[in-house]
Chains A and B, each alone.
Chain A
Amino acid sequence: MIGKSKIIAGVEIGTAKVAVLVGEVRNASSLNIIGFGESSSRGVMKGAIFDFKQAGEATHAAIHAAEKQAGAHIEGVYLAQAGAHIEGFYNEASVSVSAATNLVGADDIRRVCENAKAKSLPEDRTVIHHIRRPFRLDGRTVPDPEYLEGGKLEVGYWIVHGSVREVGNSIRVINGFSLHVDDLILSSLASGVMVAGRGEMRNGVLVIDIGCGSTDFAFYRDGYVVRTGTLPVGGDHFTNDLSLGLRVTRSQAESLKVNAGKAILDPEDKGKKVWLSGDLSIGDRQIPRESMNKIAHARARELFELVKKKLGENFTPEKAAAGVILTGGGARLSGMASVAEDVLGIAARVGENPSWVTDELRGIEYSTVLGLLNYGLKTENDRGSSGEKEKTGGLLRRMTRIFDRTS
């Protein structure tokens, strides 16, 4: 293992952009980003691929650019998953400790994990993640139950699953470039790792990744993922609302949103106006800032209300002591954090990527693709240290192979 380096890659086929990062893992422990490629996405709406050919072309352009910069060939990629087709549920199981000594053995742990994961899904669904929560031994939470004494061992999983068709589409795009998919990673988990620290995950933190086509969230508590979810609402909806409400074209709405948009009803903007294009051309007109704010505010409020609804009773302000972290391009809209704070009742802030990330990738819209590489590094780590306790995504590997074969 020593001195060996491996090339890994992360690909995010988003609604706005396709981002590809190439990293070099040294000694299965350190990561060096060596290539970055980006293209504007086409054929993707609300996080789902609707035009396979266009999405494929955009992805290939980004992969090509990243490979060129890295001067290396990618073989496999870690692929982000988002979109409305993704759902999750919680399932748990318990076993009686089998040894006469009442000491938990590796076999007990294996059995309880398998039971908790063995929930069959409808044929058109496929598992993306089995996210384990801490073990409980006779009701006590224990990080590692092996060799501990007890009678009843319990464990629960948050199981994230997606539509076979949608997941398959994104895998096929990658396969179409003669690459294989190493693993699928939920966007919100990828970005969550980048913007939230371990301490925050322990204290309870809600990461909301507002993309262009969809919003994904992950709620961490005691260092574990408790719940994930996705909403088919993103930055595009803000633009579309502005375009309809202000009766401007979509590109005008986008530029208004980026340059002058606010998600809060700022009293200072009362009576203020902003030029639509500002180039004194015919048809240019002044747009009241107040109206823009109202439109964006209504959408932002609703977005966080929906997140709150989706989280249900599992989420209370006390359970998320570290607050809310917003990430993704949609979080760039001014005032989003304050609306989130207002709706969710806890402190909210816009996240930042870690300081080691180069300036080019510091923008929060890159936290997902950075997180993919981070996940890849972790996987390599696990492979490096032989004590691989949990195989990440056993079922998933089968799925990626199925698509390798059929494509």
Chain B
Amino acid sequence: MSENGASGEAEKAPVTENGGPIGVGIRLFGLGGAGMNAAARLSLQGLAGIELHAVNTDSQALSRCSLEHKHLAGEGVTRGLGAGGDPELGQRAAEAERGEMERWMAGADVVFLVTGLGGGTGGPLARVAAEAAEKAGALTLGFAVMPFSFEGTRRRRQAEDALAALRQVCSAVVPLPNDMLLQQLGEDAPVLDVLRKSDEWIVRAVGSIRDVLCRPGQINLDLGDLKRVFPKPGGKTLCGFGSGEGERPADNAFSDLLMCPLLHTPEFASRADHLLVNVSAGPDLAINELHKLADRIGEHFGRDGRFALGAAIEDGWRGRVEICVLGASDIGGGSTASDRRNSAAASSQVPASRRSTPERAKKRSSSGKQTTGPTKSSQEEFGFEETTDKRGLFDRSESNTFEGEDLDVPTYFRRGIRISL
């Protein structure tokens, strides 16, 4: 996996006093019980160069957490006893911490939020944290672990509401349905394995973005490129990984990417407007192979909008290719198409005055390379409308719920039946 190879090198890289690499401040926050535990497990996996924080309303759980940066949230609201699955209480606790959160976010360029959405704390904390991060001008990427179907309708609905709310304030949200994770492992897998599986996806995504930003690649990507891929919150996120070895590693990696379970769950977009592709490969990857690979990825996942390609060469990786695809679509948020068009036009025409968050606007315009004019961005929007019907058969139809279960979602998926391929 790329992050393992990456960590050794990154550790040697110069770091600032808070542990992050010079130039880009990356922070990861584990929010709520599940998020905190995930962050703690991630700390063991060599995510060097990333400052890890834990935020929880439960002081007892927090005291057992091994992370360096720990924050007790909403002490005045829950008296450090947790929110007990009550989202209202969680909401109040999170609001009470808004000022503090803004302080923790100050100076961050990229913020990862990791949380579980079935309970009462994770959702509200993540939302407030995302808002604080946005205020600090950081790019915010959320990882939301969704509860199992068998955990009941109430928790699922709570999680879906929280996910929708989180999408509104994060640059991108990657939902990790526990159903899917279980899917991958089989019905008799121990709980810890399921959790590890979700960690694995988070590590791969976080590691890949860290690599994009911190490691010199053949084709370099910087924070500005990353931000342009996620121009506006609210849409569905596309996230997929593939790795290939053997005689034709690029082809194999692409096939593996197409099989990535993250790309085949109902919560995910299958095509995106804006795409970030990061390829890590051994020195034997020819440039035209890379080109071909990027072409195929663009064709498959959409390149109507912005398309950013990064490539890093790993010396020890002869005959091996890894791909990470991250994408964002403009659909799905509360905003209408014309709304988005206006804001897209505004963001490229009027620098700071019409933006909701001046700091962020300043950062963005200072990164310079705004290549898209207003005409082009409206074309992108148009191009997107045409592709919506390719997104899964039932994506556009009304929801189909019977006794709390969405019947359009595959049955095997809801029942956690393992499908081996």
Enumerate A325-351 residues with CB–CB distance to B below 8 Å: none
A233 (CB) vs chain B CBs: closest residue? B407
Are B411 and A302 interface neighbours, CB within 8 A? Answer: yes
For residue B410, which residues in chain A have a CB less than 8 angstroms away from its CB? 237, 240-241, 244-245, 295, 298-299
Interface presence of A396 (CB below 8 A): no
Interface presence of A46 (CB below 8 A): yes
Are A46 and B411 interface neighbours, CB within 8 A? Answer: no
- A45 CA to B408 CA, complexed, in Å: 12
- A239 CA to B394 CA, complexed, in Å: 11
Interface presence of A33 (CB below 8 A): no
Question: Shortest CB–CB separation between residue A336 and chain B, in angstroms?
Answer: 14
- A232 CA to B398 CA, complexed, in Å: 11
Interface presence of A288 (CB below 8 A): yes
- A309 CA to B404 CA, complexed, in Å: 14
For residue B421, which residues in chain A have a CB less than 8 angstroms away from its CB? 246-247, 287-288, 291
Question: Shortest CB–CB separation between residue A404 and chain B, in angstroms?
Answer: 28
Among B196-204, B214-222, B301-309, B412-420, the stretch in contact with A: B412-420
Which of the residues B259, B402, B420 comes within 8 Å of A291, measured between beta carbons?
B420
- A243 CA to B408 CA, complexed, in Å: 13
- A287 CA to B421 CA, complexed, in Å: 6
Chain A, 177-195, contact with B by CB distance < 8 Å: what is the 0/1 string?
0000000000000000000
Which of the residues A50, A244, A306 comes within 8 Å of B413, measured between beta carbons?
A244
Interface presence of B370 (CB below 8 A): no
Which of the residues A231, A287, A298, A306 comes within 8 Å of B417, measured between beta carbons?
A298
Interface presence of B14 (CB below 8 A): no
- A291 CA to B403 CA, complexed, in Å: 27
Interface-central residue, B413, B418, B421, by most chain A CB under 10 Å:
B421
Question: Shortest CB–CB separation between residue B247 and chain A, in angstroms?
Answer: 14
Chain B, 373-404, contact with A by CB distance < 8 Å: what is the 0/1 string?
00000000000000000001110110010110
**Do A240 and B394 form a contact, CB below 8 Å, given A84-B400, A247-B258?**
yes
B261 (CB) vs chain A CBs: closest residue? A247
Chain A, 243-268, contact with B by CB distance < 8 Å: what is the 0/1 string?
11111001000000000000000000
- A306 CA to B405 CA, complexed, in Å: 11
- A302 CA to B417 CA, complexed, in Å: 13
Chain B: number of interface residues, binned into ranges: 20 to 34
Chain A: number of interface residues, binned into ranges: 20 to 34
A295 (CB) vs chain B CBs: closest residue? B412
- A231 CA to B400 CA, complexed, in Å: 10
B251 (CB) vs chain A CBs: closest residue? A282
- A233 CA to B406 CA, complexed, in Å: 11
Enumerate A269-319 residues with CB–CB distance to B below 8 Å: 283, 287-288, 290-291, 294-295, 298-299, 301-302, 306, 309
For residue B402, which residues in chain A have a CB less than 8 angstroms away from its CB? 231, 306
Question: Shortest CB–CB separation between residue B327 and chain A, in angstroms?
Answer: 18
Question: Shortest CB–CB separation between residue A239 and chain B, in angstroms?
Answer: 8
Are A298 and B412 interface neighbours, CB within 8 A? Answer: yes
Interface presence of B291 (CB below 8 A): no
Are B420 and A244 interface neighbours, CB within 8 A? Answer: no
15 A/B residue pairs, CB under 8 Å, sorted by A: A233-B407, A237-B407, A240-B392, A241-B411, A243-B393, A244-B392, A246-B421, A247-B258, A247-B263, A288-B421, A299-B410, A299-B411, A302-B411, A306-B402, A309-B403
Q: Give A residues with C-beta under 8 Å from B.
A: 45-46, 50, 84, 231-233, 236-237, 239-241, 243-247, 250, 283, 287-288, 290-291, 294-295, 298-299, 301-302, 306, 309
**Apart from A283-B255, A298-B410, A306-B402, 4 more pairs, CB < 8 Å:** A244-B413, A245-B413, A298-B415, A299-B412
